[in-house]
Structure 1
Amino acid sequence: MTAVEQRFREFKMPDVGEGLTEAEILKWFVAPGDTVTDGQVVCEVETAKAAVELPIPFDGVVHELRFDEGTTVDVGTPIISVDTDPGAGEAAPQAAPAAGEAVAEAPAAAPESEEKEGRQANLVGYGAAPASTKRRPRKPLPSAQRSALTPSAAAPAPQAPAPAPAPARPEAAPELNGSGRPARPLAKPPVRKLAKDLGIDLETVTPSGADGIITREDVHAAAEAVQAARETPVAAPATAAQGRERRVPVKGVRKATAQAMVNSAFTAPHVTEFVTVDVTRTMKLVSELKQDPELAGLRVNPLLLVAKALLVAIRRNPDINATWDEGNQEIVYKDYVNLGIAAATPRGLIVPNIKDADAKTLPELASALGELVGTAREGRTSPAEMSGGTITITNVGVFGIDAGTPIINPGESAILAFGAVKLQPWVHKGEVKPRQVTTLALSFDHRLVDGELGSKVLADVAAVLERPKRLITWA
C-alpha cells in the first residue's frame, strides 16, 4: 500500500442488518473539508429494515463524498474518503471514476477479457480497482494506430497474443454487430445491475462513455425515455392526467415489506378465524389501570391487555409459538415469545418486537410497548429490534376497522388482528344491553397449526378479554 493510499482512507457501506445487500443514503451530516473523529455519525441510511445512522471508524478530514443523498449503494461500496493526515501536503489520491464511467487509461477490451484479467473482482460498487494506480503508465495507442498494427508491430506488448494475419484488430477486441457496435454492450457490473433493476435492455442504450462503455447516466436516460413514452397519452385530450399523478420509487422499508408479504402470502397456507367478543370489562379495567400508581407514566391502553391476553393464550397453547423451517423440513418450537407489534410509519409498515415479552410483568410490558411505538414513530427502530419475532399483533382498530385477514409476518406462525371497540347491542345476562364489543381475527400457518390449535388460541384470547380476571387465574 502506498503512502497516499494509507493517508486517504475509504469508509465502505457496511451491512447494518442481517445479510442486507444495499442501503439508500438519506442524509449526509458532513461535507468535504469537515473534520471527523472516530465514532462520529457521518450519514443516515435506510435499509430494507430501518433508518440507521453510520459512525465513521477513524479520524481525519473529509476529502470526498462519493454519492449524493437519495442514492442506493451496494454494501461494501466506498461512500466517503477521508484524509487521515491532512498536514502532510496537497497530494491527493486519484479520484475514483464516477458511477458507470470508464477509466480512460484502461486498454479497450471486451468485457469477457476484463473479467478474466480480474478487473471485475477488484470493483466493489462504483469505486476504482486498487490496482488501477499501477496500470496508469500503460497508455493505449490511438484507435487508428491499433487498427493498423501488424503482428510484428504488436509483438512488443508481452501480454497480447500475436494476432492472426486476417483480422485487422487484436483478438481481444469486441465482436461487432451489423450496426458497428459491440455484439455485447460494454458496461460495468453495477451498471448492468441498474439496467436489470430498471428493466432496460442494454442493447437499446446509446453509450456515452470512453470506448463505447455504457454509463449509469445512459441507463437513466433510457429509462426516462421509456417512462415518458409510457406516460404519453395516445389520442387523448390535452387535459388528461397530466399533473394529477405522482410516482414514488418503491424502495427501502416499503419495498422489503412488499416482498416479504408476497413471499408469506404465497408460501404459508393462511387460515383466518374470527371471533366477536364483549370487552366491556376489559375497557373498564383499562380505565382503572390508568389510575394505578404502579403504571403512572406508562402506556396503558386496550392493546396492552390484548397483548397480555395473547401471552396467556400462548402459555396455555405453546405449540402456536413456532416456525416452519423449509430448508431442514422441521418445525421449530420456541420457548420464548418475542411479541411483534405492527406499526405504521412514514417509511412504511414495520414490525418491531418486544424481546421475551412472556417473562415481563404488566408494568414492564407497558413500558416496552410504549418505547417500541415511540421509537417506530420517530424512525429510530434498529434492524435488531425487527429481527427474531415469534408472533405478531396488528391493531387495525385504531383506524376504525372492525376486522381483516392479516398476513403472517415471515418466520412466524400466526398473527392476531385487533379490531375497533364499538358500543353495540349485546345479550348480557339474558337482556339486550349496550356493550363494548370488538372482533379478533387470527391468521395462522396451516402447515404447522391445525384448526384445533388455532381455534383454542383465539378462544383463549377472547375469554381473557371478556373476563380479564382470568389474567390472574390462568397466569
Structure 2
Amino acid sequence: MIEEFRLPDLGEGLTEAEVVQWLVVPGDTVTLNQTLAEVETAKAVVELPSPYEGVVSALHAEAGETVAVGSPLITFDVAGAEPAPSAQATDAEEKAQPNLVGYGAAPSSGGRPVRRARRAAASQSVSADAAVIEAAPHDALPPSAAEPVVGERPRSTPPVRAHAKRLGVDLVLVAAEIGDRTITRADVDAYAERVGARASGASASSAPASPAPAVSSASVGERAQTRIPIRGVRKHTAQAMVRSAFTAPHVTCFHTVDVTATMELIEQLRADRSLSEHRIGPLVLVAKAVCMALGRNPSLNATWDEEAGEIIENHFVDLGIAAATDRGLIVPIIRDAERLSLTGLADALAQLTRTARSGRTSPAELAGGTFSITNIGVFGIDAGTPILPPGQSGILAVGAVRRQPWEHDGQIALRRMMTLSVSFDHRLVDGAEGSRFLKDVADLLEQPGRAMLY
C-alpha cells in the first residue's frame, strides 16, 4: 500500500520549511518515528520522524528546497515493510497509521534508518577518486572510494551540517576519514579542500558534479559578489523586524551605569566553591535586575492588542535572550524568569546558549516572550537602538563593561561602567515609565544590595 507523507504543521503559524538534509533515500526501510530529514523553519531546525513503517518509495523535494505545509514530502510503500517477528496482522495495520512523536504517538522502535549499499556499474568509466555514489540528494563532491560507508548518521551539529550542505560535502564520507567522533567545521573544510584538489585533476570523462550550492560568488578576477538566498531564520527575522519597526513607534533611552559593585559581587560569587557549577556573569545580574524592575513597571512587560483594543499587562516574565547563531538572530525564551533565583537564571542562560549554538532551539522555545535582552557588550559595543520583537513593549541592550574615570564619592576614580539602552513601544509606554524602568535597572546594578528592598 502506498502512503504519502505531507509536510506537517510544525506550529506557531509556520507555513513552510526548507529541507536541510535527507537522512533516507528511496529503497531504505524505516521504522515508526525514525528521523527522515532535517527541515529548517523560520524559527528552528526540526527533525521529522517517520509516520509509517515501510520502504521509502520517493522523495518529493531536494535538500535546499522550500516546501509548503501540506505539500507532499515523501512516499512510502507500507505493504513492503517487514513486520517484527512477533507482530500480528492487526499490529501491522496499526503501525501503518501515521503517528508522529510529539503528536501523541509512542515509538515502536528506535535507531536510525539503514541505507542499502549500492555498487557502481561495471561499465562506469571513472577513476576511484572521481566515482559517483547514489546517496542523499545533498551529496555533491566525488568521494574517495567507489562505495560509501553505510550505517548510522554521522555525528555533527546542525550548523556544521548546513556548512557541509553549502560546500556539497557528504558527511558520511567525512566520517569515514576521521573515525568515530563528532564532525567539526574544520573537518568539513579539510575534506572539501582535499576532494576539490582531486576533482580538479580528474579527466573530462569523470562524472558530472551535482548542482552548485545555494550560495554563489563571482569568479576570480571579477568584481566579487556573493548571493545568499533569503530564507529560514534570516527571512523570518527580517520580516518580523520590518513589521515591528513600522507598527510600533520606537523610543530609545540611554543610561550609563557604574557597575563596579555588581562586578565585585560577581567576583565574590565566582570565588565561592559552592557556586562553582553555576556560571554567574554580568548578563545574569542584568536579567535578575530586569525581572525585578518589570514588577515595578508593568507597562514594559505588556502587549498592544490592536484587534481587542486592549493593553495586556503580563504578571509573569517570559524573558527573551537574543542570540547570534550561524543561522541568524534568534530569541529563545526563559519561561517565568521572575521566579528563578540568581543561580537558576545562570543555569537557564547557560542551557539556552548551548542549545542555540548547537542549532537545536525548538519553535516552542522561541514562541512568545514578554520582554527581551540583547547583549551587544560581547561584541565590544557600548550602546545601540534595538528593535522590539513583535508583540513586546520593551527590549534592553546591554553594553560592554569598561574601566573609565568617573565621579565617585566626590572624587574622580577609575570605575567599571556599562551603558544600558532600552527601546519601548510609545503606544503603551510613556517616556516617564520607560525612564523609570531604566533607572530601576541601573540602581540595582549600581547597588546590588538594593535588591533586598524589593
Scaled by the length of structure 1, the TM-score of the pair is 0.66
> Which of 7, 14, 26 is residue 13 of structure 1 equivalent to?
7
Query: Aligned partners of 2:221 and 2:257: how far apart in 1?
Result: 52
Residues 411 and 87 of structure 1, relative CA distance in 2, 3 Å threshold: closer
Let me know the Cα RMSD of the aligned residues. Answer: 2.0
Identical aligned residues as a percent = 57
Query: Aligned partners of 2:319 and 2:257: how far apart in 1?
Result: 22
Superposition map of 1:145-164 within 5 A: none
The residue that corresponds to 1:378 in the other structure is 358
> Which of 404, 409, 412 is residue 424 of structure 1 equivalent to?
404
The residue that corresponds to 1:188 in the other structure is none
The residue that corresponds to 1:325 in the other structure is 305
The residue that corresponds to 2:56 in the other structure is 62
Residue 448 of structure 2 aligns to a residue in which SS? coil
Check whether the contact 1:294–1:363 (CA below 8 A) recurs between aligned residues. no
Superposition map of 1:259-408 within 5 A: 259-408=239-388
Runs of 4+ residues over 6 Å off in structure 1:
none
Superposition map of 1:81-230 within 5 A: 81-86=75-80
- What is the identity, as a one-letter code, of the residue corresponding to 1:10? E
Deviation at 1:471, TM superposition (A): 2.1
Residues 345-392 of structure 1: CA deviation (Å, up to 9, x unaligned): 001000011000011111111111111111011100011111110000
Check whether the contact 1:403–1:417 (CA below 8 A) recurs between aligned residues. yes
Deviation at 1:240, TM superposition (A): 4.8
Check whether the contact 1:344–1:350 (CA below 8 A) recurs between aligned residues. yes
Deviation at 1:262, TM superposition (A): 0.5
Check whether the contact 2:405–2:414 (CA below 8 A) recurs between aligned residues. yes
Query: Aligned partners of 2:274 and 2:368: how far apart in 1?
Result: 30
The residue that corresponds to 2:442 in the other structure is 462
Query: Aligned partners of 1:14 and 1:398: how far apart in 2?
Result: 38
Deviation at 1:239, TM superposition (A): 5.5
Query: Aligned partners of 1:457 and 1:428: how far apart in 2?
Result: 23
Query: Aligned partners of 1:43 and 1:423: how far apart in 2?
Result: 50
Residues 205-264 of structure 1: CA deviation (Å, up to 9, x unaligned): xxxxxxxxxxxxxxxxxxx9xx99xx99xxxxx9651xx111000100000000100010
Query: Aligned partners of 2:4 and 2:38: how far apart in 1?
Result: 17
Aligned length: 322
Query: Aligned partners of 1:294 and 1:285: how far apart in 2?
Result: 15
Does structure 1 residue 46 correspond to structure 2 residue 40? Answer: yes
Check whether the contact 2:18–2:65 (CA below 8 A) recurs between aligned residues. yes
Unaligned runs of 5+ in 2: 83-213
The residue that corresponds to 1:181 in the other structure is none
Residues 318 and 294 of structure 1, relative CA distance in 2, 3 Å threshold: farther
Unaligned runs of 5+ in 1: 1-6, 89-223, 233-237
The residue that corresponds to 1:101 in the other structure is none
Check whether the contact 1:24–1:72 (CA below 8 A) recurs between aligned residues. yes
Q: Max radius of gyration: which structure?
A: 1
Deviation at 1:294, TM superposition (A): 4.4
Check whether the contact 1:270–1:443 (CA below 8 A) recurs between aligned residues. yes
Deviation at 1:284, TM superposition (A): 1.1
Residues 116-145 of structure 1: CA deviation (Å, up to 9, x unaligned): xxxxxxxxxxxxxxxxxxxxxxxxxxxxxx
Residue 64 of structure 1 aligns to a residue in which SS? strand
Query: Aligned partners of 1:38 and 1:299: how far apart in 2?
Result: 40
Residues 392-427 of structure 1: CA deviation (Å, up to 9, x unaligned): 000000000000000001010000000010010011
The residue that corresponds to 1:441 in the other structure is 421
Superposition map of 1:25-44 within 5 A: 25-44=19-38
Query: Aligned partners of 2:272 and 2:23: how far apart in 1?
Result: 44
Query: Aligned partners of 1:49 and 1:59: how far apart in 2?
Result: 29
- What is the identity, as a one-letter code, of the residue corresponding to 2:349? L
Does structure 1 residue 413 correspond to structure 2 residue 407? Answer: no
Residue 403 of structure 2 aligns to a residue in which SS? strand
Query: Aligned partners of 1:38 and 1:363: how far apart in 2?
Result: 40
Residues 74-99 of structure 1: CA deviation (Å, up to 9, x unaligned): 000111111111169xxxxxxxxxxx
Query: Aligned partners of 2:442 and 2:81: how far apart in 1?
Result: 70
Query: Aligned partners of 2:297 and 2:322: how far apart in 1?
Result: 22
The residue that corresponds to 1:140 in the other structure is none
Scaled by the length of structure 2, the TM-score of the pair is 0.69
- What is the identity, as a one-letter code, of the residue corresponding to 1:54? L
Check whether the contact 1:17–1:49 (CA below 8 A) recurs between aligned residues. no
Between stretches 70-79 and 284-293, larger displacement belongs to 284-293
Query: Aligned partners of 1:69 and 1:240: how far apart in 2?
Result: 29
Query: Aligned partners of 1:363 and 1:282: how far apart in 2?
Result: 15
Residues 8 and 283 of structure 1, relative CA distance in 2, 3 Å threshold: same
